[in-house]
Amino acid sequence: MSRAATLTTRAALVGVDFGHVDFAASLEELSLLSKSAGADSMVTITGKRSSPDSAYFIGSGKVDEIAQVVADQALDIVIFNHALSPAQQRNLERRLNTRVVDRTSLILDIFAQRAQSHEGKVQVELAQLQHLATRLIRGWTHLERQKGGIGLRGPGETQLETDRRLIGERVKALRARLAKLHRQRETQRRARGRNNTFSISLVGYTNAGKSTIFNALAKARAYAADQLFATLDTTSRRVYLEEVGNVVISDTVGFIRELPHQLVAAFRATLEETIHADLLLHVVDAASPARMEQIEQVNLVLKEIGADHIPQVLVWNKIDAAGLEPSLERNEYDKIQRVFISAQTGAGLSLLRQSIAEFAKTHLTERLNLPQAIDQAEALDVPDPE
């Protein structure tokens, strides 16, 4: 979906309740995703099933119901709140006589629209090509015919094989480019490590307010908007805090439930800022009814990328909308566990700075004491008798 085309794209949203998640919150999220992609949601069609249908994902009767709505309202697209197999997508498009997009394709489309940096664009293209490679046959009638005509006879390679080979070559080139960008990031991180710079990554569910917090702390101008995936590219800034000096804060891409695996893999280089951070500020939308499930989803992705061992502070943002007061909570070991703030109004930001400074001081003390601790351990080490 191009940016121009999506401005007037009339869509039907389809959600199936399997009884596993907060269905209402999931549908609300699909509506926001569709809006972010530029689709105008005209109707939402829901159903209940115990498991997906192998041919259509939904039942045949529900397909007929959707087909009738598409015809009556002259809709351009049907967007499913689920990942569809290539066969299901193909079968649905034939029955509905319109374009069908699943949740994975929708998120990939938003990422393609929003990526600004060279690295972000490379990562999005890689993810899209990996997704496309499984669906090449869909919608093409000529692919299985061998090439013919003057200058094309000979090897007998089908168009489908050619397309797959070209995609394979492009994927290989994109991976090589990402590997180079990864090495550059690694060099920058090593330089920060040599300077003993404390690094913080903002993580959290999409639209939780990470970029607004980043702008407030770093006095930066990162793009922030009330929409899903406003930030795709990692941005890092130095911030001076009294008592500890300079720290580095990074704003990262927002997480979402059922984040496409292609994106987790393709964005690994970007998310490595998170893996190598000394502290994670896990930003939570305090006003969202689904906030506990969103916290769980973010923690699942953090585990998937190997960042679940990093110290974490929960930053409950948007307290003005949730009717809460700025405050700071500690656990039984007197470590800061939660900070309640509003990045929009500035309430509680001083508490957040205090939290970062406290963790940074502890980290710096531990780092300075480490060589001494190693020396003491080596002095106490008794060699085994021969």
In a domain? residue 206:
yes
Domain total for the chain? 2
Give the C-alpha separation, 97 to 99, whole Å.
7
Place of tokens 């999506």: 6
Which of 110, 134, 165 is a domain's end point?
110
pLDDT digits (tens, 9 = 90+) for 287-320: 998 899 889 988 988 888 888 899 999 999 999 9
Longest CA pairwise span in the chain (Å):
89
- Angstrom CA distances, 108 to 11, 131, 181, 301, stand at 17, 9, 21, 17
pLDDT at 272 over 70: no
pTM here is 0.71
3-state SS, one letter per residue, for 80-120: ECCCCCHHHHHHHHHHHCCEEECHHHHHHHHHHHHCCCHHH
Could you tell me whether strands 99-101 and 235-241 are parallel, antiparallel, or unpaired per DSSP bridges?
unpaired
Contact predicate 76/10, CB 8 Å = yes
Q: Is 246 helix (H, G, I), strand (E, B) or coil?
A: strand
CATH of the domain at 91: 3.40.50.11060
Residue 359 and residue 210 in one domain: yes
In a domain? residue 161:
no
% of the chain surpassing 90 pLDDT = 35
Range of the domain at 18: 3-110
pLDDT digits (tens, 9 = 90+) for 181-206: 778 777 766 765 556 688 899 999 88
How many residues does this entry show for the chain?
386
